């Protein structure tokens, strides 16, 4: 969008948490416009390489342009980061030095009405990050049963009025299909009672919920984090920036879980196996953007960064914690 650029959120904090150093192989699983990726390549110069992944072909193109100057040090992939183990196998990398995931959507996606993520401007109700995928938000809104719509709104949007909104959607689509972001936003707003000054747009939660459902965002995230940690070299770090509490909770639980790998029977009051965890937490509490970052970039306000460091293991030996536990 003219005049607006994507500003990487928590940039300094992410680089510090990754403990970037010269050399190594790094992963940015959510390249977006390439802001974090570019900074990682600078911080790891002259020889550090970066695998930059995005499931949005437009984002990969934008990142490719931005990272062109780094030549072969930047390895671009149009893929879902949940395929990370496969992608690393393909380039012959058993372990990596650090992994960044800056979850959610980018300003490139949000600011383009044609992508259908925003209710502020009218556009097709699309919301697909990867446009080669078939189902759009309009498909979900116009075909799912009321119960399923209500659970998406409740589970992924923490929307307290999930049921009345789902009912209104089903009623409205009986007259005519809901095809645009504005028509859905107006419909949601018409269901929600107006109480005093509103801090967020009434459709915010519903749009978040639909976006998560369309892109299946939470599915497999925990498993991917475990696999990603399994591909870190000892001392390597994983850094995750989440923008809503559902995602952040999942990240917190998974990283915490990886600090313990006790295999004692559940009824044993204290651990007897003494099995060390796979990681130590770098952030006991999430790192939040500073007041000045929020002032400069209001979209950063809900960001929470968490990081963990891979503990010692035989160097070069990748381990999948999910399998190790089984």
Ligand X SMILES: C[S@@+](CC[C@H](N)C(=O)[O-])C[C@H]1O[C@@H](n2cnc3c(N)ncnc32)[C@H](O)[C@@H]1O
Which residues contribute to the site for ligand X (CB under 6 A)?
6, 8, 29-30, 32-36, 53-56, 59, 80-82, 102, 104-106, 129
CA-closest candidate to residue 229, choices 262, 248, 254, 264: 254
Residue with Cβ nearer ligand X (146 or 216)? 216
What is each CA distance from 157 to 221, 242, 315, 323, in whole angstroms?
Answer: 17, 15, 42, 32
Residue with Cβ nearer ligand X (35 or 157)? 35
Residue with Cβ nearer ligand X (36 or 252)? 36
**What minimum distance in Å lies between the beta carbon of 278 and ligand X?**
22
**What minimum distance in Å lies between the beta carbon of 187 and ligand X?**
26
- DSSP-H helix ranges across the chain: 11-18, 35-43, 57-67, 84-90, 107-110, 137-143, 146-157, 162-175, 181-191, 204-215, 221-230, 245-258, 291-296, 321-325
Residue with Cβ nearer ligand X (106 or 208)? 106
210 φ/ψ sector (left φ>0, alpha ψ -120 to 50, else beta) = alpha
Supply the DSSP string of 293-321, one letter for each residue: HHHH-GGGTT-EEEEEEEPP-STT----H
**What minimum distance in Å lies between the beta carbon of 131 and ligand X?**
11
User: Taken in order 12, 36, 8, 243, is the CA torsion positive or negative?
Assistant: negative
CB 159 within 8 Å of CB 209: yes
Tell me the residue number closest to ligand X, measured at CB. 32
Residue with Cβ nearer ligand X (6 or 306)? 6
Residue with Cβ nearer ligand X (40 or 168)? 40
Tokens of 302: 């809900």
**What minimum distance in Å lies between the beta carbon of 189 and ligand X?**
26
Residue with Cβ nearer ligand X (10 or 192)? 10
DSSP 180: B
Spatial separation of the C-alpha atoms in residues 301 and 314, rounded to whole Å: 40
116 φ/ψ sector (left φ>0, alpha ψ -120 to 50, else beta) = left
Residue with Cβ nearer ligand X (108 or 166)? 108
**What minimum distance in Å lies between the beta carbon of 66 and ligand X?**
8
CB within 8 Å of 284: residues ≥ 6 apart: none
**What minimum distance in Å lies between the beta carbon of 59 and ligand X?**
4
**What minimum distance in Å lies between the beta carbon of 104 and ligand X?**
5
**What minimum distance in Å lies between the beta carbon of 326 and ligand X?**
24
């Amino acid at each position: 969008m003219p005049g607006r650029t994507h500003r990487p959120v928590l940039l300094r904090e992410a680089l510090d948490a990754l403990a970037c150093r010269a050399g190594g192989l790094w992963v940015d699983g959510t390249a977006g416009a390439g802001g974090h990726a570019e900074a990682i390549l600078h911080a790891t110069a002259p020889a550090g390489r970066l695998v930059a992944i995005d499931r949005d072909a437009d984002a990969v193109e934008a990142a490719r342009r931005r990272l062109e100057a780094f030549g072969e040090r930047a390895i671009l992939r149009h893929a879902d980061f949940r395929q990370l183990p496969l992608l690393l196998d393909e380039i012959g990398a058993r372990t990596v030095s650090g992994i960044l995931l800056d979850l959610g959507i980018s300003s490139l996606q949000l600011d383009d009405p044609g992508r259908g993520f925003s209710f502020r401007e009218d556009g097709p109700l699309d919301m697909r990050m990867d446009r080669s995928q078939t189902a759009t938000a309009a498909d979900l809104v116009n075909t799912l049963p009321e119960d399923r719509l209500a659970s998406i709104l409740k589970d992924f949007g923490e929307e307290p009025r999930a049921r009345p909104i789902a009912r209104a959607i089903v009623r409205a689509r009986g007259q005519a299909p809901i095809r645009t972001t504005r028509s859905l936003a107006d419909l949601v707003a018409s269901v929600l009672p107006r109480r005093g000054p509103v801090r967020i747009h009434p459709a915010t939660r519903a749009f978040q919920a639909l976006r998560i459902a369309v892109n299946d965002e939470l599915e497999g995230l925990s498993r991917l984090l475990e696999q990603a940690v399994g591909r870190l070299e000892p001392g390597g770090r994983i850094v995750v920036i989440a923008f809503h509490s559902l995602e952040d909770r999942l990240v917190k639980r998974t990283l915490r879980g990886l600090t313990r790998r006790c295999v004692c029977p559940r009824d044993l009051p204290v651990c007897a196996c003494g099995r060390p965890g796979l990681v130590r937490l770098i952030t006991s509490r999430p790192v939040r953007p500073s007041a000045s970052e929020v002032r400069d970039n209001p979209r950063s306000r809900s960001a929470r960064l968490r990081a963990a460091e891979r503990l010692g293991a035989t160097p070069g030996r990748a381990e999948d914690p999910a399998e190790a536990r089984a």
